[in-house]
Amino acid sequence: MNSAEIAERGSTILERLTTTQTPPPWELVVGTGVAALLLVVFRPTWRILRNAVTVAHEGGHAFVALLSGRRLNSIRLHSDTSGLTVSSGKPYGVGMVLTMAAGYPAPALLGLGYAALLGAHRITLMLWLTIALLVALLVKVRNAYGLLSVFVIGGVMFAVSWFGTDDAQAVLAYLAAWFLLLAAVRPVIELQRNRRNEPNSDADQLARLTRIPGIVWVLGFGVVAVCALVVGARLLLADVEGVCVPPLTHSTCAPAAP
pLDDT of res. 243: 52
Give residue 1's pLDDT. Answer: 65
- Kindly report the pTM of this predicted structure: 0.90
Report DSSP letters for 117-128, one per residue: HHHTT-HHHHHH
248 in any annotated domain: no
Ranges in the chain, pLDDT < 50: 242, 251, 254-258
In a domain, 184, yes or no: yes
For residue 199, the model assigns a pLDDT of 84
**157 touches 129 (CB < 8 A):** no
Output the CA–CA distances (angstroms, integers) from residue 203 to 45, 124, 216, in the order listed: 26, 36, 8
**Does residue 251 lie in a domain region?**
no
Q: Does any domain span residue 253?
A: no
Tell me which residue range forms the domain holding 46: 8-237
Whether 99 maps to a domain, the answer reads yes
Strand partners, 83: 77
- Domain contains 1: no
In a domain? residue 243 = no
Structural contact between residues 181 and 108, judged by C-beta atoms closer than 8 angstroms: yes
27-70: pLDDT as tens digits: 999 999 999 999 999 999 999 999 999 999 999 999 999 999 99
| Residue 228 domain flag | yes
* pLDDT at residue number 221: 98
| Number of separate domains in the chain | 1
